[in-house]
Amino acid sequence: MTSESQEPGASRRPVEDEVDVVAEETQQSAKGGKKDKKGSFWKELPVLVVVALVLALIIKTFVVQAFYIPSESMENTLLKNDRVLVNKLVYHTRDIERGDVVVFSGVDSWDGEFQMEEPSNPVEGFFRWVGTAFGIVPGEKDYIKRVIGVGGDHVKCCDSKGRITINGTPIDEESYLYPGNVPSDRFFDVTVPPGRLWVMGDHRSVSLDSRSHTGDPGGGSIPESQVIGRAFVIVWPFDRARVLEIPDTFAQSSLQALGGAVPLVAGFGLAVPLVVVRRRRRMRTR
Q: Is 145 a catalytic residue?
A: yes
Annotated catalytic residue within 60, 88, 141, 145: 145
Q: What is the rounded CA–CA span in Å between residue 49 and residue 230?
A: 29
In the sheet that holds 154-157, the strands lie side by side as: 169-170, 165-166, 154-157, 188-191
Annotated catalytic residue within 60, 71, 73, 109: 73
Beta-strand ranges (E) seen in 115-205 are 142-149, 154-157, 165-166, 169-170, 188-191, 196-200
Q: Is 37 a catalytic residue?
A: no
Q: How many other C-beta atoms lie within 10 A of the C-beta of residue 146?
A: 28
- State in Å, rounded, how far the first CA of the chain is from the last one: 147
Task: Report yes or no: 200 and 176 within 8 Å, Cβ to Cβ.
Answer: no
Any idea which residues carry the catalytic annotation?
73, 145
